């Protein structure tokens, strides 16, 4: 057991830090347009291009596909350092984290050549069309249908909760191509050009007020068979590969986000007074602060342990479900405790720009997106503890 960074990991971090210091752009000025505006997307695309030119796009991808061949631990260092440096959000998160690795495993040579470089350079932004109104946790029950017509698939149906779809260029889409077989065996994966006629995008406003998610409607959308990923009716397996990647990725990038939230909380606790006393002098608030700090630290250690195991075993396992449950439920506890510590004023949108209200509301989605806490617990029960399938 040795939790110090190895010399390789250390030099990776130092090189990255030095690069970030020079290259992280100024924070985006929302006066220029909201988060769905073309300006904001261009700002994010510029950042992706900068990462690409600097050799920091696709750090975890194999070198032969233009990546850096980084280990899981280096990948985690990358995620934490970029957030700590105040870098913009990663527009390529779906393409780089999910679609690219899936194409590397399941794609044809032509598909690899056509799509992979454009993911890294930021020319293509991807979204992922899995969930449907009637296929949430039970994704395999999806009903968006594709029927073969000559060299095309003709797609009809609806997707929901697709992040980045408002401006995405391409979509990894799961469709039903066989209604006669058990649900897992009739699904096919398609790589769909979002400019295809017949696609309608509609932003989905969340309870937090923002609309990072979308609804997508497909009406007689023609997708060339050449853009099918993997064999017909084998899409479920492809979907599982993608989701495994999602569960391991989601976690590491969240640490710094929570760490910064706690720093902000502590700053208030040290300086704000209520009833003539500093917030930090109240024993009950101190208990909540101690718990929040401990929860986050144990999360950091859980990630480190999972990464260390991933480094040994190389494929992400169901343990990713543990991290997902941990961080999403911790996020809710942290948001709740923060407002209790800060008190009444924390409900105001002018207080810290509404950050605490945002966290309190946004965290409610975290135990649902990317597999609900209930589904994650079923996965742990079945695949780690060996209990029977219950659904």
Binding residue (CB under 8 A) for other proteins from 113, 225, 301, 348: 301
What is the distance between the alpha carbons of residues 96 and 120, in angstroms, rounded to a whole number? 7
Residue 191 bridge partners (DSSP): 172
Scanning 31-39, 214-222, 246-254, 279-287 for contacts with other proteins by CB under 8 A, the matching segment is 279-287
Q: Using alpha carbons only, give the angle 204, 128, 180 rounded to the nearest 5 degrees.
A: 105
Q: Under the criterion CB under 8 A, does residue 337 sit at the interface with other proteins?
A: no
Residues 104, 304, 345, 361: which binds other proteins (CB under 8 A)? Answer: 304
Q: Which of 57-65, 91-99, 216-224, 289-297 is the region at the interface with other proteins (rule: CB under 8 A)?
A: 289-297
* Radius of gyration for the alpha carbons in the chain, expressed in angstroms and rounded: 22
Nearer to other proteins, 226 or 294 (CB): 294
Sole binder of other proteins in the list 30, 113, 294, 348 (CB under 8 A): 294
By the rule CB under 8 A, 256 interacts with other proteins: no
Is the sign of the CA dihedral 236, 241, 244, 246 positive or negative?
negative
Q: Does 207 help bind other proteins (rule: CB under 8 A)?
A: no
Q: Do residues 118 and 106 make contact, with C-beta atoms less than 8 angstroms apart?
A: no
Our answer to whether residue 246 is catalytic in this structure is: yes
Give me the least distance between CB of 285 and other proteins, in Å please.
8
Do 203 and 36 form a contact (C-beta atoms < 8 A)?
Answer: yes
Is 152 or 329 the residue whose CB approaches other proteins more closely? 329
- Give the H or E element holding residue 117: helix 109-121
Q: How many residues are there in the chain?
A: 391
293 binds other proteins (CB under 8 A): yes
280 binds other proteins (CB under 8 A): yes
Report if residue 314 touches other proteins, rule: CB under 8 A: no
Of 137, 232, 302, 372, the one binding other proteins by CB under 8 A:
302
Residue 266 touches other proteins, criterion: CB under 8 A: yes
The interface region with other proteins, picked from 29-37, 49-57, 138-146, 263-271 by CB under 8 A, is 263-271
User: Does residue 387 interact with other proteins by CB under 8 A?
Assistant: yes
Using the rule CB under 8 A, which residue among 37, 163, 211, 308 binds other proteins?
308
Please tell me the distance from the alpha carbon of residue 235 to that of residue 183, in angstroms, as a whole number: 11
Q: How far is Cα 365 from Cα 136, in angstroms, rounded to an integer? A: 13
Q: Binding of other proteins at residue 156 (CB under 8 A)?
A: no
- Calculated CA dihedral for residues 259, 121, 211, 174, nearest 10 degrees: -110
| Catalytic member of 215, 246, 319, 369 | 246
User: Is 368 a binder of other proteins (CB under 8 A)?
Assistant: no
Give the span between the Cα atoms of 353 and 363, in whole angstroms. Answer: 17
Q: 222 - beta bridge partners? A: 154
Nearest 10 degrees: CA dihedral of 201, 126, 306, 290?
-50
CA distances from 243 to 21, 125, 188, 274 (A): 33, 18, 15, 46
CB contact set of 4 (below 8 Å; sequence gap of 6+): none
Residue of 63, 291, 348, 349 interacting with other proteins (CB under 8 A): 291
**Binding span for other proteins by CB under 8 A among 20-28, 38-46, 364-372, 378-386:** 378-386
Question: Residue 120, exposed/middle/buried by CB under 10 A (0-12, 13-18, 19+)?
Answer: buried
Residue 322 interacts with other proteins (CB under 8 A): yes or no: yes
Footprint on this chain of other proteins (rule: CB under 8 A): 1-6, 9, 73, 262, 266, 269-270, 280, 283, 286-287, 289-291, 293-294, 297-298, 301-302, 304-305, 307-309, 312, 322, 325-326, 374, 376-378, 380-382, 384-388, 390-391
Active site residues: 246
């Amino acid at each position: 057991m040795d939790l110090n960074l190895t010399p390789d990991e250390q030099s990776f971090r130092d090189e990255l830090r030095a690069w970030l210091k020079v290259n992280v752009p100024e924070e985006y000025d929302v006066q220029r347009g909201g988060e769905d505006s073309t300006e904001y997307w261009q700002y994010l695309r510029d950042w992706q291009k900068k990462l690409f030119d600097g050799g920091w796009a696709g750090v975890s991808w194999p070198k032969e596909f233009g990546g850096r061949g980084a280990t899981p631990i280096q990948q985690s260092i990358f995620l934490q350092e970029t957030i700590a440096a105040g870098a913009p959000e990663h527009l390529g998160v779906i393409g780089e984290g999910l679609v690219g690795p899936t194409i590397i495993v399941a794609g044809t040579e032509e598909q690899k050549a056509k799509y992979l470089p454009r993911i890294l350079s930021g020319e293509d932004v991807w979204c992922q069309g899995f969930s449907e109104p009637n296929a949430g946790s039970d994704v395999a029950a999806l009903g968006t249908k594709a029927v073969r017509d000559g060299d095309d698939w003709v797609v009809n149906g609806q997707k929901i909760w697709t992040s980045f779809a408002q401006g995405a260029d391409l979509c990894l889409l799961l469709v039903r191509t066989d209604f006669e077989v058990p649900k897992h065996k009739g699904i096919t994966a398609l790589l769909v050009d979002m400019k295809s006629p017949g696609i309608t995008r509609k932003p989905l406003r969340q309870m937090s007020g923002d609309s990072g998610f979308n609804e997508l409607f497909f009406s007689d959308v023609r997708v060339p068979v050449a853009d099918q990923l993997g064999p017909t009716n084998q899409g479920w397996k492809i979907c599982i590969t993608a989701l495994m990647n999602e569960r391991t990725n989601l976690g590491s990038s969240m640490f710094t986000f929570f760490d910064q939230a706690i720093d902000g909380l502590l700053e208030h606790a040290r300086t704000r007074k209520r009833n003539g006393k500093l917030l930090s002098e109240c024993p009950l608030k101190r208990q909540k602060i101690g718990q929040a700090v401990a929860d986050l630290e144990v999360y950091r250690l859980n990630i480190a342990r999972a990464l260390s195991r991933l480094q040994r075993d190389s494929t992400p396992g169901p343990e990713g479900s543990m991290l997902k449950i941990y961080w999403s439920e911790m996020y809710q506890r942290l948001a709740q405790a923060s407002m209790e510590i800060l008190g009444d004023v924390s409900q105001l949108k002018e207080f810290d720009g509404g950050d605490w209200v945002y966290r309190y509301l946004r965290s409610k989605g975290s135990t649902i997106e990317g597999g609900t806490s209930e589904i994650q617990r079923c996965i742990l029960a079945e695949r780690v503890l060996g209990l029977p399938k219950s659904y």
